[in-house]
Amino acid sequence: FDEGNPNLVPNFSHNFNLNFSIKDTYFIDLYYRDNGNYISRITFQDNTNQTLREIKQNVLESTSYGLDFTISTSITPFWYMYFYNSIFYEDETFLAVESTIESYKNEVNGYYGYLSNSFTISKDKSFKGDISLTYLTGFLFGSFQQSETITLNAGLRKSLWKNRAVVSLVSEDLLGRANARYTSRYANQNNTFFGVPETQFIRLGFTYNFGNYRLSNGRRDLQKSELDRLENE
């Protein structure tokens, strides 16, 4: 059950970022964050009454730091790739309400990766495909440690009638590994939960533009022509 906390106070964080970009293709971000006494949802196990209760509390301290590396480029004229990588450390120290110890520091070292590929299949660029993979080794969720997750999505889309309509087919979580297990284990606390929201879908979509898009395009062409005329005067 949930328990309120009237003693919550506002929180301030301090952030430091150092960013680099190389040829608008490679991006590096080195960061450090002092998250301060931010408000976290902490779950505690009452061993006497055999219940779990969730309390919002200002953590005693919390820090985050890591290195992000991104590649965004066209491999070929018909293949675009976006690859985001993050090596990180997260910790938060909170009051261990139901334990004999005063506080507990929950911490994790992890990796997060997101790889997206977009393909132009037809010469007229009306038929395209996408495939993406998301991987997370683990993370913090209050007093819990989140387990590894892998999400694989794929899709196709076809433009029709000079982009007036689009047909799409998308499949999400092809591997069935998008849901994580959450475990809290310290002092006298030992509990786990595994939520299973629906993550596997096959979506078929159809979008049709009923508006007068030719008129809209004509207006843009007219505006461009007028700007060109003014620049040449």
pLDDT tens by residue, 14-30? 999 999 999 999 999 99
Per-residue model confidence (pLDDT) at position 50: 87
- What percent of the chain shows pLDDT beyond 90? 76
Per-residue model confidence (pLDDT) at position 2: 80
Average pLDDT of the residues in 99-105? 92
- 228: tokens are 């060109």
Given a cut of 90, whether residue 3 has pLDDT beyond it is: no
Q: What DSSP string describes 81-119?
A: EEEEEEEEEEEEEEE-TTSSSSEEEEEEEEEEEEEEEEE
Per-residue model confidence (pLDDT) at position 100: 87
Q: How many CB atoms lie under 10 A from the CB of residue 151?
A: 19
- 149: tokens are 């997750």
Q: Is the dihedral of CA 11, 18, 116, 111 positive or negative?
A: negative
Per-residue model confidence (pLDDT) at position 57: 93
Q: Left, alpha or beta for 24 (phi > 0: left; psi -120 to 50: alpha)?
A: left
Average pLDDT of the residues in 67-81? 96
Average pLDDT of the residues in 52-56? 91
Per-residue model confidence (pLDDT) at position 65: 97
Q: pLDDT digits over 175-226, tens only?
A: 999 999 999 999 999 999 998 999 999 999 999 988 765 555 555 555 655 5
Q: What angle do CA 34, 37, 39 make, to 5 degrees?
A: 120
Give every CB contact of residue 180 below 8 A, 6+ residues apart in sequence: 136, 146, 147, 148, 149, 194
Closest CA to 184 of 154, 224, 143: 143
- 15: tokens are 């952030």
Q: Is the dihedral of CA 212, 213, 214, 215 positive or negative?
A: positive
The structure tokens 């998008």 sit at 178
Q: pLDDT digits over 115-153, tens only?
A: 999 999 999 999 999 999 999 999 999 999 999 999 999
Per-residue model confidence (pLDDT) at position 33: 97
Domain residue spans of the chain: 2-232
Supply the mean pLDDT for the chain.
90
Residues making up the chain, counted from first to last: 233
Report d(CA 2, CA 46) in Å as an integer.
Answer: 13
Per-residue model confidence (pLDDT) at position 212: 64
Per-residue model confidence (pLDDT) at position 211: 72
